Structure 1
Amino acid sequence: MIYLAIAVIDQMALKKILIITYYWPPSGGGGVQRWLKFAKYLPEFGWEPIVFTPENPEFDLKDDSLTKEVSPELEVIRFPIWEPFGFYKKIFKKGGKLKQGIVIEKTKMSLIDRLSVWIRANLFIPDPRRFWVKPSVEFLVPFIHQHNIDVVVTTGPPHSMHLIGKSLKKKCQVKWVADFRDPWSDWDILEKLGVKGIALSIHRKLERNVLGVSDLVLVASKGIRRSLMAKYDKTEVRVVTNGYDTDDLKGIYADTNEKKFRITHMGLLNELRNPETLWDCLEEICDERPDFQSDLELVLAGMVSSSILDRIQSSQQLSHTLNHLDYISHQEVLEYYLNSSVLLLLLNQTDTAQLIIPGKLFEYLMVNKPVLAIGKRESEVQEILSETEAGEVFNGDDRDQIKQMILIAYDRFRNGDISRSSGNAEKYLRKNLTHELVSILDQLSLSK
């Protein structure tokens, strides 16, 4: 069901929600999309969003095109932040940042990088943005009182945002929602960082405090909800997934005469997600079908592990098919999605990784192309793909099934049929999801 909002709402009647987020345009990547879209549609349902975000953040990805998503009527407060990344660059004379991609690689880490990772894991808990907590609280306490804020939302990661919410809850007695886009102490990235022992105990203590003090915990997947409730028995954990916005496709068109059988993956592709079986299958098909090799284009965009690039570039069959792009804008990403024959969804193989639903999955549903997912079949991702008839998740060793799906998609490409059956994906529209969120906020604001 599509929910219809009231066209005109008296501005004086709007309830106010303060959104505290580290990621906001021109920050790029998946972390910015969730509350960018909620902020877009909240006014249609009677809520006025106000965004509090760093003025000078050290984020890895920048996408200036996302700034057009921000309504000129939206109040965005940009507050200065100090982060240790600048100190790191000055001391070690690094030209870049200590990116998450460095942390999760097994190879090509220098001694300085390893030391930096150890410091990040053991000294900056829960994350290097912790130094923003105290000054932000000092600024926001009077702001909340002066502007009659009804609800405060903190969204993590970085989970230090929740420490701001915890202090504001105690000082202002305002309703507080802690939003988990990803897990906290169960996040598989912590294991790769080497977080354990005392450091992991501190993470869990902070997580427990956030769940205990917050009025409500919002999560992006049922898996995160099960994880949190199993550990802390917190009853008020509600699920509102991420989704897609068809407005993003305005002005973007598919090529009706696709010349290449394009298999596409956008975003971080590291050793935890390396689909070795897929590369083997593609090589086998190239050997068996020369037409496949000449038609194939393998598009990988974003931060890709050097070991994965070396694997493909050293392949006699695949090297010439690779189209490796650096980070591209969200609009360009959608253009590639629309003009692809198969969309790859590569999932980490760890158990805790199954708690996360990649945000790109919902955009895959929007563009209506077949999805080839490789990870663990028993997962929430598989539930969504089955529900929407969009594709399947295969285990990493399901060689025959992966190969068969590629061949079926390729034969359809050769026959000029590259669409798929459209299942029920409408409930994942950002506007409908905002309606779900508003139902939760309305209940919370009326509670004592």
Structure 2
Amino acid sequence: MPQKKVLIITYYWPPSGGGGVQRWLKFVKYLPQFGWEPIVFTPENPEFDLKDPSLSKDVSSDLEVLRFPIWEPFGIYKKLFKKKEKLKQGIVIEKTKMSFLDRLSVWIRANLFIPDPRKFWVNPSVKFLVPYIEQHKIDVVVTTGPPHSMHLIGLELKKKCDVKWVADFRDPWSDWDLLEKLGVKGWSLALHRKLEKKVLMNADHVLAASDGIFKSLGEKCALNKADVITNGFDEDDLPKLDTSFEQDKFRITHLGLLNELRNPSVLWDILEELCVDIPAFQQDLELVLAGMISESILERIRKSESLAGTLNQLEYISHQEVFRYYRNSSLLLLLLNPQDKDQLIIPGKLFEYFVVRKPVLAIGKRPSQVNDLLIYTQTGELYEPNEKSMIKEMVISHYELFKQGKTSIPTKHTSQFSRKNLTKELSKLLDEIIIYS
């Protein structure tokens, strides 16, 4: 029996790195085991500098990857203003280090290229894909966003082809917590919502990566069919455990984007106090931070007499390496935007924290699905930024365990979040789409 075919349209694909790649890279890896043949459609020349060659190990040599040229307007900006580097994603809302031209560029990008600068890829992609879908008898098309222009490709393909379409939302669209910071409001926000509603009304099925995103989308219109399939962890990513390893530092680790919105200032204050209160604490402490980190946060730590010497700042770490850093940690940080009242997003790193069995210190808002998951799996605690005494107690308790040589914790119910199990869930959903259509 021939395998059913699913075409995945994604902006992010290896060798691109970062969190946007992981979800569908892992689905594609495991889908053939459940009777589905994936085909990937992705840009040939994306304006995305973050590379991670280690991710290519998950791309089967049998996988068909269609790489199609894309034009993005950032090239014009670089030529006009002689910019050699991009404004780093996630740091564009910082209060400092941005010139007038940078701020103008951010505003133009957010308000004139709706839903995003990849919109110019929509029409050429549709023109290319219509005959491909018909010729290769594609059963289902999946678009995954952000960037949400990918969903506009799906919208047009749905009009022109006899194919089922799934719109997958890794992050919110019009309820994204940074839109207001980017100056998106009024007519531009209304246009985002209009396009979002068109996608939601026309997709055969909507997927969301969290309950919060699911609820946000459902408030826009009555969804035809919708499900939540979270992100997860892939046990194949875990390096072999080095039993000879001796944890010599009380490491508090955060790998990935850390901007002003997620700055855990209360934690820096607590750590400074503990360096004074506990004689050996400063010598034992190591702060491991990697990725795109706000200069204001780095400056805060570097100016601290107690913390400056404890900082271990690293550049981008490949996905292959992150688990080694996780395993060598005593506390793993999960930092949410406290201004996001609905806490819509579950950071993908949470699921990877599950599998290394290290305690998680989350700072954000309750109630939230992150808090629910931490309780369900018994992997950590979530505190609000004003709960200083409780955060301090947790840090002290895990420091005491570190001194006793105990840095791992028992966990529960984590196996359901393995990428293979989640892909099995996805395959059942895809089967239902084509059977009951």
In structure 2, give the amino acid aligned to 1:341. Answer: S
Are the equivalent residues in 2 in contact too, given 1:216–1:236 (CA < 8 A)? yes
Are the equivalent residues in 2 in contact too, given 1:23–1:53 (CA < 8 A)? yes
Are the equivalent residues in 1 in contact too, given 2:9–2:42 (CA < 8 A)? yes
Whether 2:418 is the aligned partner of 1:429: answer yes
User: Which of 283, 291, 294 matches 2:272?
Assistant: 283
Q: What is the CA-CA distance between 1:447 and the residue it aligns to? A: 2.2
User: Which of 19, 34, 39 matches 1:50?
Assistant: 39
CA 1:395/1:60 → structure 2, altered by over 3 Å: closer, same or farther? farther
In structure 2, give the amino acid aligned to 1:67. Answer: S
Structure 2 CA distance for aligned equivalents of residues 352 and 73 of structure 1: 44
Equivalent residue number for residue 420 of structure 1: 409
Are the equivalent residues in 1 in contact too, given 2:142–2:168 (CA < 8 A)? yes
Structure 2 CA distance for aligned equivalents of residues 90 and 96 of structure 1: 11
Whether 2:5 is the aligned partner of 1:16: answer yes
Structure 1 CA distance for aligned equivalents of residues 109 and 377 of structure 2: 40
Q: What is the CA-CA distance between 1:251 and the residue it aligns to? A: 4.0
In structure 2, give the amino acid aligned to 1:115. Answer: L
Q: Which moved more, 1:118-127 or 1:343-352?
A: 343-352
Structure 1 CA distance for aligned equivalents of residues 389 and 167 of structure 2: 43
In structure 1, give the amino acid aligned to 2:191. Answer: I
User: Which of 340, 351, 356 matches 2:345?
Assistant: 356
Whether 2:387 is the aligned partner of 1:376: answer no
User: Which of 154, 159, 173 matches 2:148?
Assistant: 159
Q: What is the CA-CA distance between 1:186 and the residue it aligns to? A: 0.1
- CA offset digits 1:182-233 (Å, max 9, x no partner): 0000001211111001000000000000001110100000111111112212
Are the equivalent residues in 2 in contact too, given 1:45–1:435 (CA < 8 A)? yes
Are the equivalent residues in 2 in contact too, given 1:186–1:352 (CA < 8 A)? no
Q: What is the CA-CA distance between 1:252 and the residue it aligns to? A: 5.8
Equivalent residue number for residue 118 of structure 1: 107
Structure 1 CA distance for aligned equivalents of residues 243 and 262 of structure 2: 28
Structure 2 CA distance for aligned equivalents of residues 60 and 160 of structure 1: 19
- CA offset digits 1:276-315 (Å, max 9, x no partner): 1000000111000120100000000000000000000000
Are the equivalent residues in 2 in contact too, given 1:347–1:353 (CA < 8 A)? no
Whether 2:42 is the aligned partner of 1:40: answer no
Whether 2:178 is the aligned partner of 1:178: answer no
Runs (5+) with no aligned partner, structure 2: none
Equivalent residue number for residue 7 of structure 1: none
User: Which of 260, 280, 283 matches 1:294?
Assistant: 283
Q: What is the CA-CA distance between 1:87 and the residue it aligns to? A: 1.4
Equivalent residue number for residue 316 of structure 2: 327
Whether 2:356 is the aligned partner of 1:367: answer yes
Structure 1 CA distance for aligned equivalents of residues 339 and 244 of structure 2: 37
Whether 2:81 is the aligned partner of 1:92: answer yes
Are the equivalent residues in 2 in contact too, given 1:254–1:338 (CA < 8 A)? no
Are the equivalent residues in 2 in contact too, given 1:102–1:109 (CA < 8 A)? no
4+ long deviations beyond 4 Å:
none
Q: What is the CA-CA distance between 1:340 and the residue it aligns to? A: 0.5
In structure 2, give the amino acid aligned to 1:316. Answer: E
Are the equivalent residues in 1 in contact too, given 2:201–2:224 (CA < 8 A)? no
Equivalent residue number for residue 107 of structure 1: 96
SS of match in other structure, 1:53: strand
Whether 2:38 is the aligned partner of 1:74: answer no
Q: What is the CA-CA distance between 1:435 and the residue it aligns to? A: 0.8
- CA offset digits 1:414-443 (Å, max 9, x no partner): 000111122110100000000111111100
Q: What is the CA-CA distance between 1:99 and the residue it aligns to? A: 2.4
Q: Which moved more, 1:186-195 or 1:102-111?
A: 102-111
CA 1:426/1:440 → structure 2, altered by over 3 Å: closer, same or farther? same
Equivalent residue number for residue 400 of structure 2: 411
In structure 2, give the amino acid aligned to 1:257. Answer: E
Whether 2:54 is the aligned partner of 1:65: answer yes
User: Which of 247, 262, 266 matches 1:273?
Assistant: 262
Equivalent residue number for residue 179 of structure 2: 190
Q: What is the CA-CA distance between 1:159 and the residue it aligns to? A: 0.2
Q: Which moved more, 1:273-282 or 1:223-232?
A: 223-232
Are the equivalent residues in 1 in contact too, given 2:13–2:21 (CA < 8 A)? yes
- CA offset digits 1:138-183 (Å, max 9, x no partner): 0000000000000000000000000000000000021000000000
In structure 2, give the amino acid aligned to 1:239. Answer: V
Over aligned residues, Cα RMSD in angstroms? 1.1
Equivalent residue number for residue 316 of structure 1: 305
SS of match in other structure, 1:190: coil
- CA offset digits 1:60-114 (Å, max 9, x no partner): 4111111111010111111000011111111111111132233121112101101
Are the equivalent residues in 2 in contact too, given 1:253–1:335 (CA < 8 A)? no
Equivalent residue number for residue 136 of structure 2: 147
In structure 1, give the amino acid aligned to 2:219. Answer: A
SS of match in other structure, 2:274: helix
Are the equivalent residues in 1 in contact too, given 2:44–2:70 (CA < 8 A)? yes
SS of match in other structure, 1:103: coil
CA 1:335/1:250 → structure 2, altered by over 3 Å: closer, same or farther? closer
Structure 2 CA distance for aligned equivalents of residues 230 and 445 of structure 1: 26
- CA offset digits 1:305-331 (Å, max 9, x no partner): 000000000001000000111111111
Structure 2 CA distance for aligned equivalents of residues 252 and 88 of structure 1: 47
CA 1:255/1:312 → structure 2, altered by over 3 Å: closer, same or farther? farther
Q: Which moved more, 1:433-442 or 1:345-354?
A: 345-354
Structure 1 CA distance for aligned equivalents of residues 129 and 249 of structure 2: 53
Taking only the aligned residue pairs, the percentage that are identical comes to 67
Structure 2 CA distance for aligned equivalents of residues 155 and 352 of structure 1: 25
Equivalent residue number for residue 303 of structure 1: 292
Structure 1 CA distance for aligned equivalents of residues 141 and 360 of structure 2: 37
Whether 2:15 is the aligned partner of 1:29: answer no
Structure 2 CA distance for aligned equivalents of residues 397 and 322 of structure 1: 24
Superposition TM-score, scaled by structure 2 size: 0.98
Structure 2 CA distance for aligned equivalents of residues 102 and 379 of structure 1: 24
Q: What is the CA-CA distance between 1:332 and the residue it aligns to? A: 1.6
Structure 2 CA distance for aligned equivalents of residues 371 and 389 of structure 1: 9
Runs (5+) with no aligned partner, structure 1: 1-11
